[in-house]
Chain A
Amino acid sequence: MRFRRFKLDLQVIIYYTARIIMGLAVLMVIPLITALLFQEWKIALDFLTGILLSLITAFAFNLFTSPNAYKLKLSWVHGLVAVTLAWFIGVILAAVPYYLSGFFGSFLDAAFDAMSGFTTTGLVLIQDLDHVPYGINMWRHLLTFLGGQGMVVLALTFLFRGTSGAFKLYAGEAKDEQLLPNARNTARVIWFISIIYLLVGTLVLWLTGMIIGLSPLRSFFHGLWVFMAAWSTGGFAPQSQNIMYYHSALYEFIIFFFITAGSFNFALHYTVFQGKLREFWRNIEIISFFITVNLLFIIVAFSLKQSGIYPHFELFRKGFFHLLSGHTGTGFMTIYASQFLRWSDLAFLGLLIAMLFGGSACSTAGGFKALRIGIILHTVIREVKRMINPERAVITERFHHLRDVLLEERHIRAALLIVILYIATFTITTLANAAAGYPLMMSMFEAASVTGNVGLSIGVTAPAMPDLLKALYILVMWVGRLEFMAVFAGIAFVVETLRRK
C-alpha cells in the first residue's frame, strides 16, 4: 500500500517535470533560429544537440509515468518537488549549448551561468563575452526573461491542460499570488503583462540605441536583450562592460524605468492594468519600496559625497543607479567591479542592505521582498502601540495590499521565517567566501548579491574562483529564487524516500 502510494507520488512528479523539460526544448528553438539567421552554424549545431538531449530526457522521464498522471490529485509536496526537480534538470540541460559553444572553462561554469540566468541573478562566468555569437546571447537573455516569469508559469501557459491543483506548481516557484481563480489563466496574465512591456521596452531601447549611435540591427538586439534582463531584474548584458558599454545617461535613465517596473508585484500590474490606479499609490509594497530606496540613498549619497569620488550629477548617475539596480535585484553596472572598492564603508553597507531587501513579492526580483519588510514595519508599529496603550486595549494593525488586510500572526510568522532564512544563507555564504580567502567586505558584498539574486559583483565571481564556491553559489541562487520552501520540500521528499527503503 505504502509502495503503491510512493509510486503514484513519483508518477505525478515525473509527469510534470517531463512536461517542463519539454517546454525547455521548445524554447531552445528561438536561439537556434537566431543562430541560423546569423549563419552561426556551429552554434546552431550546439542548440540542436541541446534540444535533442532535452527531448530524450523528457521521453525517458515519460517512460516512468502514465499519460493519465495529470488526472491524479496534485498535492503540495508534488508541486514543490516537481518544481525543484524541473529547475535542477532544466539548468543542466540549458547549460549544454553553453558548454558546447566553447565560451566556458568547464561544465560547472556553464551550469553556473544557466542557474544565474534562470534565477535572474546576473553573475557571469562566461569568457570573452564581447565576442559571443548572437545565438548564445539570445539564449542567455531568454533564460533570464523566462526565469523572471518562471519556468512553471511558461509550462502552465502552454503545456498543461486540465491540471487540478496547478496552483501548487505555480506557488512552488515563489509566486504565491493567484490573480485569477485558475492558475493557468493567472500564468497567462503574467505572460500577457510581460509581453506588453517587452514590446514597449524593446521599442524604446531600440530607438535610444540608434540615437546613441548603434546600427539599427545591433540596436534592436541590444534593446531586446537589455530589456529582457531589465524586466526580469536579471542584469545580463551583451557586452562585458555591462551598461557602462553604452556611455549614455539617456540609456541608463530609461533602464531605471524598466528595472523598477520589473520589480513590481504581478498582482499590482494586474490591478493597475484593470484601471484601478489608486492601488498603485496605496500598496504596502510600493510605499515600503519608496521609503527604503530613499532612506538608503540618503545614506549612500552622503557617504559618497564625503569620499569625493563622484562630483555633482555623477553622484546620482553612479550612486542612485547602483542602489536601484541592487534594490530591485537587477545587478546592472556602470562601473568596473573593482571600482566598488573605492566606495566608502557606509555607502558599501547601504548598497549591501539594498541588495538584501530586494523588490516586490510575486515579481521577478529576489531578496526579502518589500511586502515582508512592510509587514515587519507594521509589526513594530503594532508592538509600540501595544506598549503605550493600557494592557486590556485591543490593538489591531492593518496594511493595504490589493485590499485592506488585518495584520495577523500568520503574516508575521511567514515574513520572519523567510527573512531569517535569507539572513542565515547570507551568513553562510559570507563565511564560505571568507574561508576561500576573500576580504570580509568583499565576502559580504558578493554573498548579499548571490543571496538576493542581484548580480552586482565586486570581483569575487570569476572563472578562477574555487569550484566549491561556484557550486555553493549555484545552490544559493537556486534556494534564494525558490524562496527555500520548494527546495526544502524536495530534500524532505528524498530523505523520506530513502527512509522508506
Chain B
Amino acid sequence: MVEDRTAKRTRRIFSNFNIFVGILTELGGVALLVGLGLLISWLVTRL
C-alpha cells in the first residue's frame, strides 16, 4: 500500500510540463557552460 502511494506520488510529481521545463533548464545550463568554453577559446586565440 505504502509503495503504491509512493508510486502514485512519483507519477504526480513528474508532470509532462515539469519534465519539459526540467530538461530545458538542464540543457540551458549546459549551453551556458559550452558558451563559456566558446568565449574562453575566442579570448585566448585573440590574446
Q: Do A and B bind each other?
A: yes
Name A residues whose Cβ lies closer than 8 Å to a Cβ of B: 180-182, 184-185, 188-189, 192, 196-197, 200, 253, 256-257, 260-261, 264, 269, 272-275, 277, 280-281, 286, 290, 293-294, 297-298, 301-302, 305, 311-313, 315-316, 319-320, 323-324
Q: How far is the CA of A280 from the CA of B30 in the complex (A)?
A: 11
Return chain A residues, CB-CB under 8 Å to B18. 273-275
Which of B6, B19, B41, B42 lies in contact with A181, CB distance below 8 A? B6
Q: Nearest chain A CB to B32's CB is how many angstroms away?
A: 8
Q: Is the CB of A180 within 8 A of B41?
A: no
Q: Nearest chain A CB to B1's CB is how many angstroms away?
A: 12
Q: For residue A315, which residue of chain B has the nearest CB?
A: B41
Question: Would you call the interface of chain A mostly helix, strand, loop, or mixed?
Answer: helix
> Per-position contact with A for B10-47: 1 when CB-CB < 8 Å, else 0?
10011101110111011101110110111011101101
Q: Is the CB of B13 within 8 A of A274?
A: yes
A–B complex contacts, Cβ < 8 Å, 27 sampled: A180-B6, A182-B6, A188-B10, A192-B10, A256-B30, A256-B34, A261-B27, A272-B22, A273-B18, A273-B19, A274-B14, A274-B18, A275-B22, A280-B25, A280-B29, A294-B36, A297-B40, A298-B40, A298-B44, A301-B40, A301-B41, A301-B44, A302-B44, A305-B45, A315-B44, A316-B42, A320-B38
Q: How many A-B Cβ pairs are below 8 Å? A: 99
Q: Is the CB of B30 within 8 A of A257?
A: yes
Q: Nearest chain A CB to B5's CB is how many angstroms away?
A: 10
Q: For residue B27, which residue of chain A has the nearest CB?
A: A257
Question: Would you call the interface of chain B mostly helix, strand, loop, or mixed?
Answer: helix
Q: Nearest chain B CB to A239's CB is how many angstroms away?
A: 24
Number of interface residues of B (CB under 8 A): 31
Return chain A residues, CB-CB under 8 Å to B22. 269, 272-275, 277
Q: Nearest chain B CB to A175's CB is how many angstroms away?
A: 17
Q: Is the CB of A277 within 8 A of B14?
A: no
Return chain A residues, CB-CB under 8 Å to B31. 257
Q: Nearest chain A CB to B46's CB is how many angstroms away?
A: 9
Q: Nearest chain B CB to A273's CB is how many angstroms away?
A: 4
Q: Is the CB of B34 within 8 A of A253?
A: yes
Return chain B residues, CB-CB under 8 Å to A275. 15, 17-18, 21-22
Q: Is the CB of A286 within 8 A of B29?
A: yes
Q: Nearest chain B CB to A295's CB is how many angstroms away?
A: 10
Return chain A residues, CB-CB under 8 Å to B6. 180-182, 185
Q: How far is the CA of A172 from the CA of B6 in the complex (A)?
A: 23
Q: For residue A279, which residue of chain B has the nearest CB?
A: B25
Q: How far is the CA of A301 from the CA of B29 in the complex (A)?
A: 21
- Identify the 3 closest CB pairs spanning chains A and B, nearest first: A316-B41, A273-B22, A320-B37
Q: Is the CB of A261 within 8 A of B44?
A: no
Q: Nearest chain A CB to B11's CB is how many angstroms away?
A: 9
Supposing A182-B2, A189-B10, A196-B19 touch, asked if A264 and B26 sit within 8 A by C-beta, the answer is: yes
Q: For residue A162, which residue of chain B has the nearest CB?
A: B3
Q: Is the CB of A281 within 8 A of B29?
A: yes
Return chain B residues, CB-CB under 8 Å to A320. 34, 37-38, 40-41
Residue from B21, B36, B40 whose CB has the most chain A CB atoms within 10 Å: B40
Supposing A274-B18, A277-B21 touch, asked if A180 and B10 sit within 8 A by C-beta, the answer is: yes
Which of B7, B21, B30, B38 lies in contact with A261, CB distance below 8 A? B30
Residue from A180, A273, A298, A301 whose CB has the most chain B CB atoms within 10 Å: A273
